[in-house]
Amino acid sequence: MVVRLTDINNLSYPGARLVATASAGGSVAPAEAVADAEGQTAFRWTPGSSPISQLRLEVKGFPDVNLTISNGSAAPVIEAVENAASFQTGTAAGAIETLWGANLADGQTVAAPPAAWPAQLGGVQALLNGSPLPLLYVSDTQINFYVPADAALEREPWPW
């Protein structure tokens, strides 16, 4: 695959170093490449056999500039649900929780505005006992949501 590094104005970044990391079971070569005069780098990615098969590209020295690519054929996979503050497994009423997995948001990354948490964000919805939960953030690997204080939790702990 060939990747071109550009900014919002479509300006390329020749000489930038991109670091590539494949998910467990997969491989990528080279692990690091330098963008050419057009801002392009080439990688050979072999997805793993696991349902979670991803390639993460990151600009070296700038970890916030990154891209995660899924092989596109995998269905959403839930790995764990944790309390966002304590990282304890399970779900608690009145808490912000994090759902970890893969292929959760169809390649999107969306954050909710700080004042109003919607029940749907980027086409993603999380339900508890059939009721939509307020969403704070969604991406292909993470969904942050709020469990209302009056929520009836049917099963504890995770998995549910």
Helices (H), 21-107: none
In angstroms, the CA 151 to CA 160 distance is 14
Q: What share of the chain is helix, strand, coil (3-state, %, to 5)?
A: 0, 45, 55
Give the CA count within 13 Å in the CB-facing half-sphere of 25. Answer: 9
Stated length of the chain: 160
Q: How far apart are the first and last CA of the chain?
A: 38
- Residue ranges per domain, the chain? 2-70, 77-146
What pTM does this model have?
A: 0.54
Instruction: Kindly give the confidence (pLDDT) of every residue in the chain, 160 residues in length, as a single tens digit, with 9 standing for 90 and above.
Output: 888 888 878 788 999 999 999 988 889 999 999 999 988 999 998 888 776 678 889 999 887 787 777 665 556 777 788 888 888 887 888 999 999 887 788 778 888 888 789 999 988 988 887 788 999 999 988 999 999 888 876 554 444 4
